[in-house]
């Protein structure tokens, strides 16, 4: 308990340092050519990019400094030092540090897609070894209604490790594609992190309290440094966060989910990201043309955002695309106009979906609506996790 209080004090300092450092360092980023222009604003200032590396570094350093506190009791009595828990903590930090490096390299160098898939997989390797050694539980508990078919639990063995590796890849990329308006990447990560912290606090009473203490040790400094970043990234953004931030966040959530054994609950908190991913699939896999950027279109006259659109040339359409379009139309998930030669369709992201359903709105309003949706989804997650889970699983 004392260590959690010390961690909170450390994290408060980390928040202040993140805030200060971003202010101090942001010109260095512009000088290094790391900047972007905000496409949803009338003034075309240079906005420093990839500042997620600052909050990420402060986050890591806070965790480093917390090591002697977290393992203080063990350090007094090195005979009974919990080497396995220490290795867990180190593996977690190692995976996060790798993603910080990869994310920053990506922001600077603009890497290809294949590296974005290969490297999170490799970065999660130490994690999987720790998991294997410390737990190696590869069993899924089957919900009660399905037990007559599958039994009480299914041991999926090696597949469980593939699942965990893919979780890291999914989390890192899912946040990165729900992006494009001020404050959205950091905002959603903040809500997810907060949900995990609430979940940890509820579970601190249970018999898994050790796993949830571990999770809190990672999430509290993450939350603090993310808040420091959000302060500068909130509308109107003075800094952009870059892929760095998305990668670090995704890996942090994956790490906590895996090592504290609540990866399914973490996925519940990713509901909006999952919806956004599934909705994006037709464009991500190029069944429907996908432009480089799918962020909403800014109208300088009204100061409002409109859904951005792509054009499909009719004669390029194959049967599969046609069927897909019909289903999407039937489900009222797309807004399209057509003439003889082409179909104009909204880009399929959650952000554009909000705009076609709720009408054009200002950028800050859109961010707030999406974050509200994220919070609502977290509430749904808690309902699924608690009242419903007792129906599907034994207590």
- What does the binding site for Mg ion look like in residue numbers (CB under 5 A)? 176, 243
> By CB under 8 A, is residue 357 in contact with a second copy?
no
Closest contact distance (angstroms) between CB of 295 and Mg ion is: 10
Output the CA–CA distances (angstroms, integers) from residue 64 to 93, 215, 273, 308, in the order listed: 9, 15, 30, 44
Out of 1, 2, 42, 78, which residue is the one contacting a second copy (CB under 8 A)?
78
100 touches, from Mg ion, a second copy, none (C-beta below 5 to 8 Å by class) = a second copy
What is the biggest distance separating any 2 CA atoms in the chain, rounded to whole angstroms?
79
Out of 40, 47, 51, 98, which residue is the one contacting a second copy (CB under 8 A)?
98
> By CB under 8 A, is residue 90 in contact with a second copy?
yes
Distance CA 277, CA 285 (A): 11
60 touches, from a second copy, Mg ion, none (C-beta below 5 to 8 Å by class) = a second copy
Query: In 3D, which of 56, 31, 41, 43 has the Cα closest to residue 228?
Result: 56
Closest contact distance (angstroms) between CB of 116 and a second copy is: 14
Q: What is the DSSP string of 261-298?
A: T-HHHHHHHTHHHHHHHHHHHHHHTTSS---S--PPEE
126 touches, from a second copy, Mg ion, none (C-beta below 5 to 8 Å by class) = a second copy
What residues from 131 to 190 belong to the interface with a second copy (CB under 8 A)?
132-133, 136
How far, rounded to the nearest angstrom, does the alpha carbon of residue 43 sit from its chain's CA centroid?
A: 30
Q: Is 343 strand, coil or helix?
A: strand
Q: Are 174 and 280 in contact (CB under 8 A)?
A: no
Closest contact distance (angstroms) between CB of 33 and a second copy is: 4
Distance CA 240, CA 35 (A): 8
Out of 6, 13, 101, 197, which residue is the one contacting a second copy (CB under 8 A)?
101
Out of 8, 87, 274, 361, which residue is the one contacting a second copy (CB under 8 A)?
87
Stretch that binds a second copy, among 75-83, 148-156, 207-215, 283-291 (CB under 8 A): 75-83
For residue 236, whether the previous peptide bond is cis, meaning omega lies within 30 degrees of 0, is yes
Rg (CA), the chain: 22
93 touches, from Mg ion, a second copy, none (C-beta below 5 to 8 Å by class) = a second copy
Distance CA 108, CA 32 (A): 9
Q: Are 74 and 80 in contact (CB under 8 A)?
A: yes
> By CB under 8 A, is residue 84 in contact with a second copy?
yes
Closest contact distance (angstroms) between CB of 241 and a second copy is: 15
Task: List the x/- string, 361-380, binding to a second copy by CB under 8 A.
Answer: --------------------
Distance CA 324, CA 314 (A): 14
Q: Which residues bind a second copy (CB under 8 A)?
A: 25, 28-29, 31-34, 53, 57, 60-61, 64-65, 67-68, 71, 74-75, 78, 81, 83-84, 86-87, 90-91, 93-94, 97-98, 100-101, 104-105, 108-111, 122-123, 125-126, 129-130, 132-133, 136
């Amino acid at each position: 308990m004392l260590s959690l209080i010390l961690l909170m004090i450390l994290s408060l300092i980390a928040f202040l340092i993140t805030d200060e450092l971003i202010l101090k360092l942001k010109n260095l980023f512009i000088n290094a050519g790391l900047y972007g222009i905000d496409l949803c604003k009338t003034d075309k200032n240079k906005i420093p990019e990839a500042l997620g590396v600052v909050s990420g570094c402060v986050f890591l350093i806070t965790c480093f400094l917390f090591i002697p506190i977290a393992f203080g009791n063990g350090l007094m009595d090195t005979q009974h030092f919990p080497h396995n828990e220490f290795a867990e903590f180190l593996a977690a930090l190692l995976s996060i540090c790798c993603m910080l490096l990869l994310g920053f390299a990506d922001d600077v160098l603009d890497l290809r897609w294949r590296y974005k898939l290969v490297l999170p997989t490799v970065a999660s390797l130490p994690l999987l070894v720790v998991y294997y050694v410390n737990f190696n539980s590869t069993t899924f508990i089957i919900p009660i209604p399905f037990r007559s078919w599958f039994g009480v639990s299914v041991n999926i063995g090696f597949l469980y490790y593939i699942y965990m590796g893919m979780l890291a890849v999914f989390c890192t990329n899912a946040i990165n594609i729900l992006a494009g308006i001020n404050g959205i990447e950091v905002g959603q990560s903040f809500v997810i992190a907060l949900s995990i912290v609430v979940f940890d606090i509820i579970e601190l009473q249970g018999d898994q309290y050790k796993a949830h203490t571990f999770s809190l040790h990672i999430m509290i400094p993450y939350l603090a440094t993310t808040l420091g970043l959000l302060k500068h990234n909130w509308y109107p953004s003075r800094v952009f966060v870059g892929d760095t931030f998305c990668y670090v966040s995704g890996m942090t959530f994956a790490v906590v989910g895996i090592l504290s054994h609540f990866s399914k609950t973490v996925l519940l908190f990713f509901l909006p990201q999952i919806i956004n991913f599934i909705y994006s699939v037709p464009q991500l896999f190029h069944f429907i043309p996908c432009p480089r950027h799918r962020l909403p279109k800014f109208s300088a006259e009204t100061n409002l955002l409109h859904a951005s659109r792509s054009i499909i040339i009719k004669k390029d359409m194959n049967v599969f695309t046609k069927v897909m379009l019909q289903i999407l139309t039937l489900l009222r998930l797309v807004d399209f106009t057509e003439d003889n030669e082409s179909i104009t369709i909204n880009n399929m992201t959650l952000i554009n979906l909000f705009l076609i359903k709720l009408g054009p709105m200002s950028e800050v309003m859109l961010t707030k609506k999406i974050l509200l949706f994220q919070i609502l989804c977290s509430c749904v997650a808690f309902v699924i996790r608690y009242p419903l889970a007792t129906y599907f699983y034994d207590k």
